[in-house]
Amino acid sequence: MTDLSLSTASATSIRADVLVLGVAATDSGPVLLGADSLGRHVGELADRLEALGVTGAADQVVRVPAPAKWSASTVVLTGFGDLSEQSAEALRRAAGAAARSLGGVAHAAFALPASTPAEAGAVAEGVLLGAFSVGSYHSSPTAPLATATVVGGKGKEIAAAVSRAATVAAAVNGTRELVNLSPGELFPESFADRAKALAKKTGVKVEVLDEAALTAGGYGGLVGVGKGSPRGPRLVTLTYKPRRAAGHYALVGKGITFDSGGLSLKPPKSMETMKSDMAGAAAVLHTVLAAAELGLPVAVTGFLALAENMPSGTAQRPSDVLTQRDGTTVEVTNTDAEGRLVLADALADAVALSPDAVVDIATLTGAQVVALGDRTAGIMGTDSARADVVAAADDAGEDAWAMPLPAELLDGLKSPVADLKNSGDRAGGMLRAGVFLQQFVGETEWAHVDIAGPSYNEHGAYGYTHAGGTGFGVRTLLTYLEQRSAV
């Protein structure tokens, strides 16, 4: 990860290869932010913004020579968007867009608004997320920005905000790395092994149930989904339990390490990104580890429901009936509706612990993308938990939208041969999947986060978001846990 430091020195005096400055868009043209603190030579730059094609639009990054007598030889101008709509997320995104453009640079100083803890944390987080290196399989990868200095305020609160940002960014980037791995390298057993390795010396306890233990324990969803692959399923339980915990929260992540659809085979094009079908489990893993590193005063139990959904002579078939961990029987009508089956088993274990609330996160339905697009998660659940998670997402800067769970959709999940069937009509597919999961949480406070769209970026990079795994959900879950611990 990029080395990060704080400085209160004059931005123009810091010895860095690149100085990053912010530009906002206004009705009267682009405005250089913080120009008053940049000395008498700043006019050379501020007066030429429009001539340089700088608009201040979000995600615009323009590199120009620095004015005479500035220590840095190059200036990067990063767009903030509309000055009247500034937010921590706009600051995070502007810093990230600049950092993303600085691959191979040894040292950059970021002289963006950072005089408060919230601002400094947003800049630091954006820098570290933007500087993430995607190309782990490239024979000659471009090195990310090596060192970054955040120029701004000082004090314990600002230092604490930057330290938190570093932990959060490491968790998001760790999630991205897992999502970007080849499914030939990341499968249920190796995922579980990585979880154990990452948890060493963190205070987080890890328990792994293999296929034999899952079969003996009645985890019919995990066993059924994993039957088609020679690489069997796993259930990983992560336990973080600080002294005098203010509450207990359970997180459940879908971890389908590759989803072919099983015998209900997906079209080839739809399989191209299905290594990312474990993004929910990756987010839960790194959220629990980050909660431990931050020393949050709440107990957190994470469940990673891991399986590989493949077609073969041993794969589960449409019309098979399985028994979930809690005894509910489910007729499998579509083997590509597998995520809800593995989540149901893990949810049963989660609610058995009687936590204050359960939050599951999953790349669950293509219907989520149809309804909300590529960047916005759908959040369902009990009224209170849903509202809390939506509020956390808003504070964290992740796009999410509250969705209902219409009771009438349950009728479409009734089976003539079992308690439920795992799929129904296409209409309301995201909500129908949520209604299915609702049957496994009883009276427990619960939220379901569908991240099918925002978990993986198939398009061009923007802000601090690269192509590939995005790490979506980690910031929301951590913010949720922080807010719950403060209640």
- The backbone region for 164, taken as left when phi is positive above 0, alpha when psi lies in -120 to 50, beta otherwise, is alpha
DSSP string, 261-284: -TTSPPPHHHHTTGGGGGHHHHHH
Which token pair is 387?
């509202």
* Catalytic residue check, 201: no
Give the bridge partners for 238, in sequence order: 206, 302
Instruction: Kindly list the distances between the CA atom of residue 238 and the CA atoms of 153, 208, 221, 289, in Å, as whole numbers in the listed order.
Output: 37, 9, 20, 9
Decide: residue 73, CB within 10 A, 0-12 exposed, 13-18 middle, 19+ buried: exposed
CA 189 – CA 274 distance, rounded (Å)? 18
Given the residues 100, 340, 386, 484, select the one marked as catalytic. Answer: 340
CA 255 – CA 268 distance, rounded (Å)? 21
* Catalytic residue check, 241: no
CA 103 – CA 96 distance, rounded (Å)? 12
- Taking the CA atoms of 117, 119, 125 and 127 in sequence, report the sign of the dihedral they define: negative
Given the residues 196, 241, 266, 375, select the one marked as catalytic. Answer: 266
CA 354 – CA 356 distance, rounded (Å)? 7
309 close to 259: Cβ distance less than 8 angstroms:
yes
Contacts 24+ apart (CB under 8 A), 392-398: 392/476, 392/477, 392/479, 392/480, 392/483, 393/476, 393/479, 395/479, 395/483, 396/475, 396/476, 396/478, 396/479, 397/87, 397/88, 397/89, 397/92, 397/122, 397/475, 398/454, 398/472, 398/473, 398/475, 398/476
Helix (H) or strand (E) holding 209: strand 205-209
**Residues designated as active site:** 266, 340
